[in-house]
Amino acid sequence: MSRLIVVSNRVAPTQEGRPAAGGLAIGVLDALKETGGVWFGWSGEIAAEPSTPVIEKQGNVTYATVGLTKRDYDQYYRGFSNATLWPTFHYRNDLSRYDRQEYAGYLRVNVTLAKQLKELIKPDDIIWVHDYHLLPFARCLRDLGVKNPIGFFLHIPFPVPEVMRTVPPHEELVKCMCSYDVVGFQTDADRQSFVDYIERGHHGTSSDENMIHAYGRFLKVAAYPIGIYPDAIAKAAEQFTDRKQVRSMRDAMRGRKLIMSVDRLDYSKGLVERFQAFERLLQNAPGWHGRVSLVQIAPPTRADVQTYQRIRQNLEGEAGRINGRFAQLDWTPIQYLNRKYERNLLMALFRHSQVGYVTPLRDGMNLVAKEYVASQDPADPGVLVLSQFAGAAEQLPGALVVNPFDLSQMAEALERALSMPLAERQARHADMMAPLRVNNLSVWRDTFLADLRHVATASSVTEKAVKRADVTA
Ligand code: GDG
């Protein structure tokens, strides 16, 4: 079988035991370990100048990493990727800014990375590129003469055309995306937004089998919702139950109910609204005072992007204010922990909480929601309160689905979750575990890669046929 090359902005730390917070890292690493292959991307280091990749082999995965110069980091990563694309694709145009120099840097880094990768590519390899940092990557590889199948998966939402058009170089970006053989999205709504952009702008046409003909190329555009390995998570959650940290947390709770939230510290995750809805619960239902706590784990990310500094300050302020308003000598309503924890420990904490509180304002999928469900004890499961704007909401029918902009509705959902009878909790949990098992992480990877292999062969045949027809016409 041909070799798999995975390309993503950041290659996860290779040392065992170092937690890699972030859905992409978790999803990609698990997928690669099973098939074996190469993972190419940024090492996380700042380098004086671009150089050839550093190669490190561990098990059946070869890590090929490169440094970024400070200028590249500022323009491509901190700038266009995280200050323009990330906010806009999460419908936060108010937080998005555009700078031509940064966009030029974004394109430049994509070209440099493509040149660095090209040296490692063998004729049979198939290339799977991930996420918004690399929208033009296939175009850059094609310009260098690379003919291999190249697929792309977007981990975050793709916005509706009206919002996409607020990014000044929107058309160039979408055109570049059409250089891939397969473009994958988390949900059908994201896929539809992309197709709408192409069709309403008269850039191409789509057919029944999710194929698009645009800018002279044929590509498949489909939804591939990312999954997890629910049984492995359930096992880890159970095994870590006896860990000292889990025991001491349970002791500290002294029979109180626990609402758990875990997110990278990001404005898209709706943390401020979440705290305020919990405050609304305490305000409307004083019977819960002293009987329930919210634990929010939020490891900081992108701390050098300004909007992330602001959300951090804002959240600290809100946690302090709400605790100041309601805390008692022996009860702190919100425990806000601004750091990373070991993955299996998180799963065990999920298992010992009565509510998983996952309420992003916008999220491609949200793996935490899935992990929360998988971590539960089927005999006495907790309840998931989930935002309708997470891709995961389509797939978790047993969750209490809420609108994160409606604080009263969220407070009511929390109360319902905290009071839900056992039989209903069990039924809801079973309804969610079944689809999580069917659409696990291997299915996500295998479906995507099968489509990529198939489409790359079929479209090169079709393109040749179209060219021949053009010549004879
Ligand atoms: C992007 C998209 C999409 C969190 N804190 C710690 C920790 N985590 C782990 C979680 C989970 C992962 O990080 C976060 O994944 P999410 O999916 O929730 O969110 P993003 O990071 O925004 O991921 C998202 C995802 O890509 C995959 O396609 O679902 O929509 O935005 O696995 O458990 N892990 C450890 N310590 C922590 O403190 N070890």
Whether 155 is a known active-site residue: answer yes
Residue nearest to atom 15 of ligand 1 (CA): 23
Between the CA of residue 6 and those of 120, 126, 267, 274, 300, what are the distances in Å? 12, 9, 28, 35, 26
What is the Å distance from ligand 1's center to 382 Cα?
A: 20
pLDDT for residue 24? 66
Q: Give the tens place of pLDDT for each residue, 216-226.
A: 999 999 999 99
Residues 87, 125: Cα–Cα separation, whole Å = 34
Residues 411, 221: Cα–Cα separation, whole Å = 38
Residue nearest to atom 32 of ligand 1 (CA): 23
Mean pLDDT on 287-293: 97
Task: Give strand pairing partners of 52.
Answer: none
Give one DSSP letter per residue of 176-187, joined into a string.
HHTTSSEEEESS
Whole-prediction pTM: 0.94
What is the Å distance from ligand 1's center to 460 Cα?
A: 36
What is the Å distance from ligand 1's center to 192 Cα?
A: 24
Beta-sheet pairing, 150-153 with 126-130: parallel
What is the Å distance from ligand 1's center to 365 Cα?
A: 10
Q: Which atom of ligand 1 is nearest to the CA of 26?
A: 32
What is the Å distance from ligand 1's center to 49 Cα?
A: 31
Catalytic residue selected from 155, 213, 352, 429: 155
Residue nearest to atom 21 of ligand 1 (CA): 22
pLDDT for residue 308? 81
Q: Give the tens place of pLDDT for each residue, 224-257.
A: 999 999 999 999 999 998 888 888 888 888 889 9
What is the Å distance from ligand 1's center to 200 Cα?
A: 33
What is the Å distance from ligand 1's center to 445 Cα?
A: 17
Q: Which atom of ligand 1 is nearest to the CA of 367?
A: 17
Lowest mean pLDDT among 28-42, 60-74, 102-116, 232-246: 28-42
Q: How many CB atoms lie within 10 A of CB 392?
A: 28
Residues 411, 288: Cα–Cα separation, whole Å = 12
Q: Give the tens place of pLDDT for each residue, 59-88.
A: 989 999 999 999 999 999 999 999 999 999
- Show the CA angle centred on residue 52, arms to residues 48 and 54, nearest 5°: 95
Q: Hey, what's the torsion of the CAs at 222, 228, 229, 230, to 10 degrees?
A: -120
Straight-line distance from the first to the last Cα atom of the chain, in angstroms, rounded to the nearest whole number: 39
Residues 8, 77: Cα–Cα separation, whole Å = 12
Contact present, 11 and 67 (Cβ < 8 Å): no
Q: Which of 133, 262, 271, 353 to mutate to test the pocket of ligand 1 (most atoms within 8 A of CB)?
A: 262
Domains of the chain, earliest start first: 4-226+441-472 (3.40.50.2000), 230-438 (3.40.50.2000)
Whether 431 is a known active-site residue: answer no
Residues 355, 385: Cα–Cα separation, whole Å = 7
Q: What's the gap between Cα 44 and its chain centre?
A: 19
What is the Å distance from ligand 1's center to 344 Cα?
A: 13
Q: Which of 365, 386, 394 to mutate to test the pocket of ligand 1 (most atoms within 8 A of CB)?
A: 365
Q: Give 29's pLDDT tier (boundaries 50, 70, 90).
A: confident
Residue nearest to atom 27 of ligand 1 (CA): 23
Catalytic residue selected from 213, 363, 429, 451: 363
Contact present, 37 and 64 (Cβ < 8 Å): no
pLDDT for residue 459? 61
Residues having CB closer than 6 A to ligand 1 are 19, 21-24, 26-27, 155-156, 226, 262, 264, 297, 299, 340-343, 346, 363-368, 371
Q: Which atom of ligand 1 is nearest to the CA of 186?
A: 28
Q: In what order do the strands lie in the sheet with 204-206?
A: 54-58, 61-68, 37-46, 4-10, 126-130, 150-153, 182-185, 217-223, 211-214, 204-206
Greater confidence, 36 or 378?
378
Sign of CA dihedral 287, 290, 291, 295: positive
Percent pLDDT > 70 in the chain is 93
- What contacts 255, CB < 8 A, 6 or more positions away? none
Residues 98, 106: Cα–Cα separation, whole Å = 12
Q: Which of 30, 264, 367 to mutate to test the pocket of ligand 1 (most atoms within 8 A of CB)?
A: 367
Mean pLDDT on 107-134: 96
Angular region, 202: left φ>0, alpha ψ -120 to 50, beta rest: left
Return contacts of 399-403, CB within 8 angstroms, 24+ apart. Answer: 399/369, 399/373, 399/428, 399/432, 402/359
Q: Which atom of ligand 1 is nearest to the CA of 371?
A: 33
Residue nearest to atom 28 of ligand 1 (CA): 155
Q: Give 306's pLDDT tier (boundaries 50, 70, 90).
A: confident
- What contacts 310, CB < 8 A, 6 or more positions away? 267
What is the Å distance from ligand 1's center to 358 Cα?
A: 12
Task: Give strand pairing partners of 39.
Answer: 6, 63
On average, the pLDDT of the chain sits at: 92
Residues 462, 25: Cα–Cα separation, whole Å = 35
pLDDT for residue 460? 60
Residues 125, 150: Cα–Cα separation, whole Å = 9
Mean pLDDT on 395-424: 98
Q: Which atom of ligand 1 is nearest to the CA of 157?
A: 30
Q: Which atom of ligand 1 is nearest to the CA of 390?
A: 30
Mean pLDDT on 143-156: 97
Q: Which atom of ligand 1 is nearest to the CA of 369?
A: 18
Give one DSSP letter per residue of 119-175, joined into a string.
TT--TT-EEEEESGGGTTHHHHHHHTT--S-EEEE--S----HHHHTTSTTHHHHHH
Mean pLDDT on 415-434: 98
Percent pLDDT > 90 in the chain is 81
- What contacts 249, CB < 8 A, 6 or more positions away? 295, 349, 352
Residues 157, 150: Cα–Cα separation, whole Å = 20
